[in-house]
């Protein structure tokens, strides 16, 4: 599995693709020294693009300024060989200043260091400083769901190749259809939208605890009656009327990220952590979870709605004083590993189940992000 392996020889085609724009730049500057410098960059980039994916040991990441949240998410990104397949084909910035501020490139360099290094862990300092330029600060308690969205959007925005952006979208994006129907007339509004996570509430509208992941999914897609102060303005009726709101699932991606909303607001804007027991399965079939009325997809789409659990990002502690780690199942070995900053060890499924939560252990470790992978990927492993 791991992140360390033998270097693969870079193809001539890729080497030429990297060399040609650099030669053109050097010629434009009419500077022999610059041409030599650019030639050296090509040789350096060859080693970056030539690394092999996930062959031997797993490598940890040192905590640099409360970076446990970032470290956990990076390990989830890097252990996903569908993502690294995209990352290894990015357009590399030519200039040093551009490289320092380019998130995908800094991730690529960190991945190379993790794969080719000899130590048990590496420091993600360059990437951390790169992210700080985009207001992702060190020494701050980050929320894993929000940080995932921030990093993912930075990756997408800084990828120059349209085909890679499309692949990234296909890999992570969920598509739903929102329905709004007036209960006083025939007016109905439909709107398609996309999201990167399924943000599942753990409490129902009466503040009762939902007991399983299946309950949370069904509640998320359950129709909601908008009445009283929640009524919407109906153009056809010319006034505010009761509406029925629901969401229907259109498309699920290769890598599905589920956000268990364990942090909720109480009175006086106090944020409380929900630590209650919430089991989740290793195998998830959306066809067995959602009803026909909750889906807007054809049979071909639904045929790919079977998933295996790939990773769990777990949180321990409180909202103001917490810690993250990641449990990830190798896509090559099919074994579970715990990535706790610089410490990495093999674990069992029983260890992963300890993140289900417990009502009496408010500071205990609880699953916060669940990452599922399609059983039948749409493209082969690289």
Separation CA 311–CA 313 (nearest Å): 7
Separation CA 263–CA 271 (nearest Å): 6
Which is nearest to 328 in space by CA: 54, 142, 123? 54
Burial of 302 (0-12, 13-18, 19+ CB in 10 A): middle
What pTM was computed for the model? Answer: 0.83
Tell how strand 271-273 and strand 283-285 pair up. Answer: unpaired
Overall size of the chain counted in residues: 382
Output the pLDDT for position 382: 40
Output the pLDDT for position 313: 98
Q: For 300, how many CA atoms within 13 A lie in the half-sphere containing its CB?
A: 1
Which contacts qualify for 360-363: CB closer than 8 Å, 24 or more apart?
A: 361/275, 362/273, 362/275, 362/318, 363/275, 363/316, 363/317, 363/318
CB 280 within 8 A of CB 370: yes
pLDDT tens string, the chain, 382 residues long: the values are 444 443 344 344 434 444 444 444 444 444 555 445 544 544 444 334 333 344 457 899 999 989 999 999 999 999 999 999 999 999 999 999 999 999 999 999 999 999 887 789 999 999 999 999 999 988 888 999 999 999 999 999 999 899 999 999 999 999 999 988 888 887 888 999 999 999 999 999 888 999 999 999 999 999 888 888 888 888 888 888 888 888 999 999 999 999 999 987 665 556 778 889 999 999 999 999 999 989 999 999 999 999 999 999 999 988 778 999 999 999 888 899 999 999 999 999 999 999 999 877 767 899 999 999 999 654 444 4
Q: What is the rounded end-to-end Cα distance, in angstroms, of the chain? A: 13
CB 341 within 8 A of CB 314: no
Which residues are CB-neighbours of 299 under 8 A, at least 6 positions away? none
Output the pLDDT for position 330: 92
Helices (H), 317-377: 349-353
Distances in Å between the Cα of 137 and the Cα atoms of 71, 123, 180 are 14, 16, 39
Output the pLDDT for position 205: 83
Distances in Å between the Cα of 195 and the Cα atoms of 95, 148, 169 are 34, 12, 10
- Among all residues, which ones are annotated catalytic? 68, 323
Which is nearest to 7 in space by CA: 60, 58, 43? 43
Separation CA 337–CA 351 (nearest Å): 10
Compute CA 180 distance to the chain's CA centroid, rounded to the nearest angstrom.
29
């Amino acid at each position: 599995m791991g992140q360390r392996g033998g270097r693969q020889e870079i193809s001539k085609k890729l080497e030429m693709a990297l060399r040609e724009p650099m030669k053109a730049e050097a010629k434009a500057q009419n500077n022999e020294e610059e041409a030599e410098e650019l030639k050296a960059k090509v040789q350096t980039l060859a080693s970056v693009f030539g690394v092999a994916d996930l062959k031997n040991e797993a490598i940890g990441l040192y905590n640099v300024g409360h970076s446990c949240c970032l470290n956990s998410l990076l390990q989830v990104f890097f252990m996903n060989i569908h993502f690294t397949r995209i990352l290894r084909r990015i357009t590399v910035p030519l200039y040093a200043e551009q490289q320092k501020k380019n998130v995908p490139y800094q991730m690529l360099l960190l991945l190379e260091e993790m794969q080719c290094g000899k130590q048990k862990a590496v420091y993600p300092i360059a990437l951390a400083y790169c992210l700080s330029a985009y207001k992702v600060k060190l020494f701050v308690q980050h929320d894993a769901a929000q940080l995932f969205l921030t990093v993912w959007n930075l990756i997408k925005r800084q990828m120059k190749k349209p085909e890679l952006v499309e692949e990234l979208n296909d890999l992570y994006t969920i598509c739903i259809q929102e329905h709004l129907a007036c209960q006083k007339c025939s007016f109905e509004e439909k709107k398609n939208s996309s999201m990167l996570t399924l943000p599942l509430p753990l409490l129902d509208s009466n503040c009762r605890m939902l007991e399983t992941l299946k309950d949370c999914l069904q509640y998320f897609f359950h129709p909601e009656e908008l009445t009283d102060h929640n009524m919407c303005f109906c153009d056809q009726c010319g006034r505010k009327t009761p509406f029925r709101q629901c969401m229907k699932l259109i498309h699920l991606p290769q890598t599905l990220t589920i956000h268990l909303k364990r942090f909720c607001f109480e009175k006086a804007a106090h944020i409380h952590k929900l630590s209650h027991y919430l089991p989740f399965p290793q195998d998830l079939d959306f066809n067995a979870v959602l009803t026909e009325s909750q889906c807007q997809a054809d049979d071909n789409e639904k045929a790919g709605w079977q998933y295996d659990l790939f990773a769990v990002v777990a949180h321990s502690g409180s909202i103001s004083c917490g810690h993250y780690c990641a449990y990830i199942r190798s896509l090559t070995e099919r074994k579970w590993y715990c990535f706790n900053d610089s410490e990495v060890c093999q674990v069992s499924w029983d260890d992963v189940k300890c993140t289900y939560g417990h009502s009496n252990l408010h500071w205990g470790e609880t699953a916060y992000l669940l990452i599922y992978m399609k059983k039948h990927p749409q493209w082969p492993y690289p």
